[in-house]
Amino acid sequence: MPKVAIEIDSDTLIDIIKQLPDTEKKKIRETIRPKEHWLKRLYDLYLPARKEAQKYTDEEIEKDIRNAVVEVRKTHG
């Protein structure tokens, strides 16, 4: 039997998936989503920096950013 391509928009796909039993939905989710999402890996990668940043107040961080911008503008115009 020849394969036939059909176009299904995202709304139609969502409607189809909603009608499936939960076990089928889970299979689809596991197929589509990687076991460890890239965003979670990125979040975990910056964990040490987030912990370090907790030591400082918002005002201290904003002051350091302003000082850094001033230095960059002095150096690079």
Better-predicted residue by pLDDT, 63 or 20: 63
- For the chain, the structural domain boundaries read 46-76
CA atoms of 64 and 77, how far apart (whole Å):
19
The four Cα atoms 11, 15, 18, 24 give a dihedral, to 10 degrees, of: -90
pTM score above 0.75: no
The CA-based diameter of the chain, rounded to the nearest angstrom, is 70
Write the pLDDT tens digit of every residue in 5-54. Answer: 677 777 887 788 888 888 888 888 777 766 677 788 888 999 999 899 89
Q: Please compute, for residue 7, the number of CA atoms within 13 A of its CA located in the half-sphere on the CB side.
A: 1
